[in-house]
């Protein structure tokens, strides 16, 4: 059983109490229902669940794949790696992980927790067969991913918005590798009573690294790109150590697709092709981690190229005020 049925956005979970409660109830209770269903109806089923690298946070030590060997006061044990989640969404994933480990322990279930990094790309071999199968390209401040946002901002002539210093470093992977990792987990099931954890990513980048990569790729396409540093709406380290292990899926046969100039150009060209559908007002962050309630403006109109600089300035000022308010 492959379980992806969860609210997937950290900013969404931080909008206000209602969104935080929905995220945790939907994700935690939903996964509990799945675990009880497996125990009652198909106890030998192998559960493959999507977790997140965000469960770990950004510790000042290497991140292991789910478990760490600890020596303390002369004794030694293998324990779940310490979790430092950065949002109510990431907390829901931590709760899921603990519930899965507990269910495997008491009921002898089989589970694989795929702690996934940030996904980029839009095409797999199957979706490339026909344009009608085109994938989602989320770019907004709540559901969008950073590389998608940068490519869309390049396409519509907006500066690339880097939160804070831009040293926030995360694991990334191509969508083709996401699909392959799930396939590998399916073909190599966990043992009875085992809750194993795979760190599902292939490369590490900082946000500023990605901005410079997109800038360089855009220049080759004849597009001028600026990079803007704006106040970070999240409560996170803007520069930090980050080294996460990710060898288990590679050992099982994953052959990674690394981020290349050709893929960046492809993403930018997709954004260029569909830029008439872009709502430029949804780029800048409207959810401030420091506030218990955020009012998101839904301006569903695309500013003209001539008015875009003025609107960007207004939005940037608003975002800055929200971040400074905390």
The 10s digit of each residue's pLDDT in 127-174 is: 999 989 988 899 999 999 999 999 999 999 999 999 999 999 999 999
How far, in Å, CA of 1 to CA of 50, rounded?
Answer: 11
Is the pLDDT score of 318 beyond 80? no
How far, in Å, CA of 150 to CA of 162, rounded?
Answer: 9
How far, in Å, CA of 68 to CA of 283, rounded?
Answer: 38
The catalytic residue positions are: 52, 89, 93
Residue 229 is inside which H or E element, if any? strand 227-230
Q: pLDDT of 12-67, one tens digit each?
A: 999 999 999 999 999 999 999 999 999 999 999 999 999 999 999 999 999 999 99
Give the largest Cα separation in the chain, rounded.
68
Nearest C-alpha neighbor of 270 from the set 132, 125, 137, 126:
137
Q: Which structural domains are found in the chain, ordered by start?
A: 2-325 (3.40.50.720)
Q: pLDDT of 255-267, one tens digit each?
A: 999 999 999 999 9
For the chain, give the mean pLDDT.
92
- Tokens describing residue 154: 């390049």
35 three-class SS: helix
Radius of gyration of the chain (CA): 21
Other Cβ atoms less than 10 A from the Cβ of 75: the count is 7
């Amino acid at each position: 059983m492959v379980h992806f049925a969860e609210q997937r956005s950290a900013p969404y979970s931080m909008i206000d109490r209602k969104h935080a409660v929905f995220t945790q109830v939907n994700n935690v209770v939903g996964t509990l229902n799945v675990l009880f269903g497996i125990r009652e109806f198909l106890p030998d089923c192998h559960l493959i669940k999507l977790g997140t690298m965000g469960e770990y946070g950004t510790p000042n030590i290497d991140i292991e794949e789910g478990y760490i060997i600890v020596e303390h006061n002369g004794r030694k044990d293998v324990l779940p790696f310490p979790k430092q989640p950065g949002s109510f969404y990431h907390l829901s994933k931590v709760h899921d992980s603990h519930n899965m480990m507990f269910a495997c322990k008491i009921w002898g279930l089989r589970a694989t927790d795929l702690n996934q990094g940030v996904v980029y790309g839009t095409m797999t071999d199957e979706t490339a067969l026909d344009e009608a199968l085109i994938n989602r390209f989320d770019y907004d401040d709540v559901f969008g991913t950073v590389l998608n946002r940068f490519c869309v901002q390049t396409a519509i002539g907006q500066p690339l918005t880097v939160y804070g210093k831009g040293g926030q470093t995360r694991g990334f992977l191509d969508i083709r590798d996401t699909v392959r990792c799930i396939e590998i987990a399916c073909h190599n099931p966990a043992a009875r009573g085992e809750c194993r954890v795979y760190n599902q990513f292939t490369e590490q980048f900082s946000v500023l690294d990605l901005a410079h990569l997109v800038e360089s790729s855009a220049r080759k396409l004849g597009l001028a790109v600026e990079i803007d540093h704006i106040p970070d709406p999240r409560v996170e380290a803007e520069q930090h150590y980050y080294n996460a292990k990710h060898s288990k899926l590679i050992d099982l046969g994953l052959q990674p697709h690394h981020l290349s100039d050709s893929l960046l150009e492809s993403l930018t060209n997709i954004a260029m092709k569909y830029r008439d559908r872009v709502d430029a007002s949804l780029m800048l962050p409207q959810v401030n981690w420091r506030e218990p309630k955020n009012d998101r403006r839904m301006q569903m109109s695309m500013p003209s190229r001539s008015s875009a600089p003025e609107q960007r300035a207004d939005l940037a000022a608003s975002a800055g005020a929200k971040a400074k308010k905390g």
